[in-house]
A and B are shown apart, each in its own frame.
Chain A
Amino acid sequence: MLAYRAGEPILAGQFLGDVARLGAALPASGHVLNVCADRYRFTVGFAAALVRGLVTLLPPTRTPAVIAQLKAFAPDTVCLTDEAACDIALPRVSYPEAPRAAGAPAATAVPLIDPERRAAWVFTSGSTGTPVPHEKTFGRMIDCMRVEATRLDLGTERSWALVATVPPQHMYGLEASVLLPLASGHALSAAHPFYPADICAALAAVPRPRALISTPIHLRALLASGLELPAIDLVVCATAPLAAELAAEVEQRCRTRLLEIYGSTETGSIAVRRPTLTAEWWLWPDVTLESRGEESFAAGGHIDRPTRLYDLIEPTGPDRFLLHGRVAELVNIAGKRSSLAYLNHQLNSIPGVLDGAFFQGAAGEAGEVARLGACVVAPGLDPAAIAAELRRRIDPVFLPRPLLLVASLPRTSTGKLPQEALRALAARARQSSAA
């Protein structure tokens, strides 16, 4: 079984027929932004692009500013969508509905894809105003997924059904909820459940063994909902560190193992751990870590050249390490990553903003999502207007709370902006507006 969609199983033969039909609707070459909300249709789109030789673009967010940057990067980009309403300013390809009289699909050979084929460009925010592209080749992605299947202990005897709360358009979801099932003979669920009740329904709709591919935010919400959970045979978590107590509670309530995956957009997944047993991460075989000064790099295995990791890494053995948080420049909110430099660039690109800077607030209570704040010098603008402009540029999770108008920013003589000074300025600004 290749997929489950709305409770119906989808066999490989139908998938291949869908891939061929969609491929015929795509341009002969170029780039595609695949925004299909249905995970099965996303997968058909991804496969059709591969077969046709198009490259899929996977930006971190789809704000108008980023879409404009994608157009500059690849002017021939088309947008593949499975929804009637799509306000993305790109030529559109609509996912073709299956013909009504669908009998048994013609036997279709499985297309062979050259391992060196460029499958995708995935983008990170980078530290200037422009997202940075990272090439993903087909063979390396599949190699990584074969290791992942082994490290998640999926085995070769049973076909799993994977239900994911993460979008297929980001690296974790692309890997764990699309490529992992395809590469290893397991089934993906087309669903993209959001609320706890939806997650339970999506799990109950697929046969066992079933795995839940999720993140700390959704796992926390699922447990807090008090709903009775269907049987789950494996829980996989990634994108942000999982609190030890939450990991233990997940295992206890789901009565199964919880495995965490560590990776990055640039490197893909590279390590796994079972947090209820150990804090140490276990690297993929053949992947090595090296440090150059304070910076850590991963290389080998499916990684084509030494690639910077933006976390503070302490090797504890030849294939083991501990994580000590991310490097200061980066922010991770609800599993989405950006850099203060990128966000500041976006803020300062707004007409009327003379000077502006994001800051990280004090850590919230366990489980609370800590938001960014911003201090902005923009005489003549109000916070709502600035927020509206920011919304066109950056992912909503990074929108500042609060957004404070100030007379000037506390820059040092060298022009630097220490975070503590920004936080202190913000505290004073809030006090004076509350007075």
Chain B
Amino acid sequence: MSDNLSQLRQPAGSAGLADLTRELAALIVEALNLEVTPADIGPDQPLYGEGLGLDSIDILEIALVVSKQYGVQLRADSEDNQRIFASLRQLAEYVNTHRTK
């Protein structure tokens, strides 16, 4: 009965969050064909604009990858949106909370 009630996975603890962060870094580098390695992306480095230097095309691509992998549909009107791409850590926290896969 308990499994039917919740569509959301239980958010991961801190070890799981670290794994998720690394996973996301790898997904981003692969999806965007970036020149850096996943380890190069600092967890608090800005993703959009300065920092990693991603633009809106990249953001769309990441959103697609994130929806396929974790079942999270990003919305621009959510309050979180400014923060979601502020850094890898913020993105990981958002995915962690909202993932359905």
- Give me the interface of A with B, judged by CB distance under 8 Å: 193-198, 201, 217-218, 221, 224-227, 333-334, 364, 368-369, 387-388, 391, 396-397, 399, 401-402, 430
Contact = CB atoms under 8 A, between A and B. Distances in A.
A198 B50 contact: no
B76 interface: yes
Contacts of A364: 33
B76 A401 contact: no
Interface in B49-73: 49-50, 53, 55-57, 59-61, 63-64, 67-68, 73
A218 B60 contact: yes
Given A225-B67, A401-B34, A194 B76 contact: yes
Given A221-B63, A401-B34, A195 B76 contact: yes
Interface of B: 33-35, 49-50, 53, 55-57, 59-61, 63-64, 67-68, 73-77
5 contacts: A194-B59, A195-B63, A196-B63, A397-B57, A399-B55
A237 to B, nearest CB: 16
A195 B35 contact: no
Nearest to A6: B77
Given A217-B60, A401-B34, A401-B35, A387 B53 contact: yes
A356 to B, nearest CB: 17
Given A195-B76, A226-B67, A399-B55, A221 B50 contact: no
B57 A334 contact: yes
Given A387-B53, A401-B34, A227 B60 contact: no
Contacts of B63: 195-196, 221
Contact of B57 (A217, A224, A226, A402): A217
A396 B55 contact: yes
Interface centre among A193, A224, A333, A368, by most chain B C-beta atoms within 10 angstroms, is A224
B72 to A, nearest CB: 10
Contacts of A221: 60-61, 63-64
B35 A402 contact: yes
Nearest to A367: B61
A205 to B, nearest CB: 12
B30 to A, nearest CB: 12
Contacts of B33: 364, 368
Nearest to B32: A401
Contact of A197 (B53, B56, B74): B74
Contacts of B56: 194, 396
A198 B67 contact: no
Q: Which 9 A-B pairs have the closest CB atoms?
A: A396-B55, A197-B73, A195-B74, A194-B76, A334-B57, A402-B35, A221-B60, A197-B75, A198-B76
